[in-house]
Copies of this chain bind each other. A is one copy, B any other.
Amino acid sequence: MYVGELLKNLDRIPSGVPGLDELIGGGFLPGRVYVVTGPPGSGKTTLGMQFLAEGAKNDEKGLFIALFETPDIIVRDMLRYNLGILEYVNSKKIVFYDLGEILLSANRELSWDELFKLLLEIIKRENAKRVVIDSFSLFESFVTNPEGKKKELGRFVRKLRTMDITTLLLSEMLSSEKYTDEYYLADGVIVLHHFMRNYQMVRAIQILKMRGVPHDSNLKRMRFTNEGITVYKEAPI
């Protein structure tokens, strides 16, 4: 093991979310897998699209693997932001893969093993540098039994690293007090919070975990702006 090899991927992958890179020492690390989690309506899909748009802007191909939402609906919903998504879709800088359609048409359920193999095939074929899976939690609906998930997820993460692809797993938060397997296996965990205070919805982002990177894990104010999610330096309240 040489220092050279170790240092070669000290480059950062900018997130595309204004204010986020400053919390994680300049951006994501290449070849890593990150979890983005939060309750319904917290902005996970939006963050994922900002991530891909940022890559597309720099000519990196992005792949969005959709489980239940169809690509046209996602693109339609993103029109409210000035991210230029439509342009990138037309120029194939951002490619959608309607995995839900494939899985719904399949005549049988898959094992975790098969599912992850299928994902790797798609990712290889599209040859993207940035991948978003929306949502990772929904895979369980298509899998025969829940066992083996942790093990196969571990194998999947190992493979992604060898391919030098940066991946965001969007994940539905079941409870703010429970940590799921993904949290421990992923290289980082970003939590999108929303909570009531005096009957007002307060939104915040938090870097719960970020391996190999000095990071600020305090809650930060977050808002939906015309640029998508925007992160601010101060506490949410």
Contacts and interface: CB of A to CB of B under 8 A. Distances in A.
Interface of A: 1, 3, 5-7, 9, 39-41, 45, 67-68, 70-73, 75-80, 86, 89-90, 100-101, 103-104, 135, 137-138, 140-142, 148, 150-151, 154-155, 157-158, 161, 172-175, 177-179, 183-185, 187, 189, 194, 196, 198-201, 204, 206, 208-214, 217-219, 224, 235-237
B199 A219 contact: yes
A68 B6 contact: no
Contacts of A184: 40, 68, 135, 137-138, 172
Which 5 A-B pairs give the minimum distances between C-beta atoms? A41-B209, A77-B212, A199-B219, A199-B235, A141-B150
A189 B41 contact: yes
A140, A141, A157: most-surrounded residue (chain B CB, <10 A): A141
A80 B209 contact: no
A214 B151 contact: no
Contacts of A237: 199
Given A161-B70, A185-B68, A212-B76, A175 B172 contact: no
A209 B39 CA distance: 9
A44 to B, nearest CB: 10
Given A151-B104, A154-B68, A217 B204 contact: no
Contact of A40 (B6, B86, B183): B183
A214 B104 CA distance: 31
A76 B154 contact: no
Given A6-B72, A40-B184, A80 B1 contact: no
A224 B219 contact: no
Given A68-B185, A172-B179, 20 more contacts: A1-B71, A1-B86, A1-B89, A1-B90, A40-B208, A41-B189, A41-B211, A70-B158, A73-B211, A76-B212, A80-B213, A80-B214, A104-B155, A140-B150, A172-B184, A199-B219, A199-B235, A200-B218, A200-B219, A214-B224
